[in-house]
Amino acid sequence: MLLAEILAVLMVAAVIAALMAGYPVALTLAGVSLAFAILGHALGAMNFAILGALPQRIFGVMTNDVLLAIPLFIFMGVMLEQSRIAEDLLERMGRLFGSLRGGLGFSVVIVGALLAASTGIVGATAVTMGLIMLPAMMRHGYDPRLAAGTVAASATLAQIIPPSTVLVVLGDQLNNSYQAAQLAKGAFAPNVISVSDLFAGAILPGLLLVGLYLGYLIAVAWLRPASCPPVGADAAVAKTGLLEALLAPTLLIVAVLGSILYGVATPTEAASVGAVGAMLLAARKASLTKLLMPVVEKTTQITAMIFLILIGATLFSLVFRAFGGDDMVHRALTNLPGGVDGAVLAVMLAMFLLGFVMDAFEIVFVVVPIVAPALLKMPGVDPVWLGIMMAVNLQTSYMHPPLGPTLFYLRGVAPPEITTRHIYVGIIPFVLIQIFALVVLWSMPGLATMLPHALYGR
């Protein structure tokens, strides 16, 4: 028993070391797990035959109705990116707020929230806003640190505001963990947590973050006006164009998110509607014949990356549990000082630190199946609240230095006058805002549970 637990700890350490050395995540998870399975079998710590369950698990992943929403949401987001709908919205919103001190920053945050609710893809939002807004902000005298930080943070709103692809996979993994926790407590007709629950739970925290970002920009505009000067704009012309640009994404948000929240469609069905809607909107801007091939190629690449990580994480989880790692984690969390609060705090801290070397999908697939069942066995831990706490925490993994993916997306499209140091320093206040939002959510769990309770009675 002791040998098996030692091997479980060493396997986790080996994965982290390999990731820090730069090896691909999916191959690292699968390769290290397979190597430790062979070692564990040779030392008598586990039976290699347990890997016979892997094909069935992979088949279960590939036929999971919930996960079918991922390629459809990705297709929707990429189609909107390629069709220049997002660009029109950014340019017209910028003209509307440009006459205000800090107005371009306000535009970035508001458009970031709208794009998040209509695309759900952080990378696409970061690249689009970086290409359009960063040159404009620099041209009008914005502090490069403020400009870079605002664009990077606003792009990550696509991770928390529905229909986020991260919320889809988090909902699936959390539901599995919740059912396992209930079965362990003797409930043989367990309740479920759906992606719709997490979508509803994420709306108020997402709006809270938007408000905090805008509050920070207002404070900067008041305390350091030279860092975000106003830009001349014709508000009447901007309003006319803005209404037209707002119509398309607003209709898509209502069709997709509204149908999910009110139970008209499942997330997968709503994602299908969103994909078709994005094609219809794109057809107004450009030829679908030209757009379709690059959109399908990019969708396939992103989807394949996510599912390859999921397969590697499935093997990792199987071997980790064969070593008794899940029982070890449960004992460790239960014995922490502070009881339930201490356990949740330890998991939040661990996820925050893992964000320095892993992205959100990797943490969801690897960490959540290990820690969530243990947390959900504890009294008073609401699964929706826990899921939203994890989601807000994981949002920081997209933007905190040195390995936040959004920072690299931005570095690739930023104008020459914005350096890597500007991006890294500029994002720090927004990371602190994220931590403050976590504290608020911890203190006021109703922010996450109020809407699911009102809509679904849970």
Greater pLDDT, 353 or 174? 174
d(C-alpha 103, C-alpha 406), whole Å: 23
DSSP string for 298-342: HHHHHHHHHHHHHHHHHHHHHHHHHTTHHHHHHHHHHTSTTHHHH
Supply the pLDDT for residue 25: 72
Mean pLDDT of 43-60: 79
pLDDT at res. 187: 65
| pLDDT at position 458 | 60
Q: Lowest mean pLDDT: which of 27-31, 212-216, 405-409?
A: 405-409
C-beta of residue 227 within 8 angstroms of C-beta of residue 153: no
Q: Supply the pLDDT for residue 120.
A: 63
How far is the C-alpha of 116 from the C-alpha of 119, rounded, in Å? 5
Q: What is the pLDDT of residue 437?
A: 92
Residues 288-346: pLDDT tens digits? 777 788 888 888 887 887 788 778 878 887 888 788 777 777 777 777 777 788 888 88
Q: What is the pLDDT of residues 243-252, one digit of tens each?
A: 666 777 777 7
Q: Report pLDDT for 365.
A: 80
- Integer-rounded Cα Rg, in Å, for the chain is 22
Which residue is listed with tokens 């991922």?
70
Please report, for residues 109, 211, 222, 442, the alpha-carbon distance to residue 218 in angstroms, rounded to integers and kept in the order given. 12, 10, 6, 25
Residue 385 is predicted with a pLDDT of 92
Angle at the Cα of 124 from the Cα atoms of 121 and 129, rounded to 5 degrees: 120
Token reading at 201: 């739970």
- Residue 103 pLDDT greater than 60, yes or no: yes
pLDDT tens per residue, range 373-399: 888 888 888 889 999 999 998 888 777
Segment holding 104, helix H or strand E = helix 103-119
- Mean of pLDDT values over 188-211: 85
Between 36 and 74, name the one with better pLDDT: 36
> How does residue 227 score in pLDDT terms, banded at 50, 70 and 90?
confident
**308: Cα separation from own chain's centroid:** 17
Give the Cβ contact number of residue 51 at 10 Å.
19
Work out the mean pLDDT of the chain and round it to a whole number: 80
Nearest to 75 by CA among 396, 296, 372: 296
- Check residue 219 and give its pLDDT: 92
Spacing of C-alpha 363 from chain mean position: 10
> How does residue 32 score in pLDDT terms, banded at 50, 70 and 90?
confident
The two three-digit tokens of residue 183, written as one number: 């079965």
pTM of the model: 0.80
Residue in 367, 387, 372, 386 with CA at minimum distance from that of residue 333 = 372
Could you count the other beta carbons within 10 Å of the beta carbon of residue 22?
7
Domain-wise residue ranges, the chain: 2-456
Per-residue pLDDT of 249-262, as tens digits, reads 777 777 887 888 77
Place of tokens 């189609």: 79
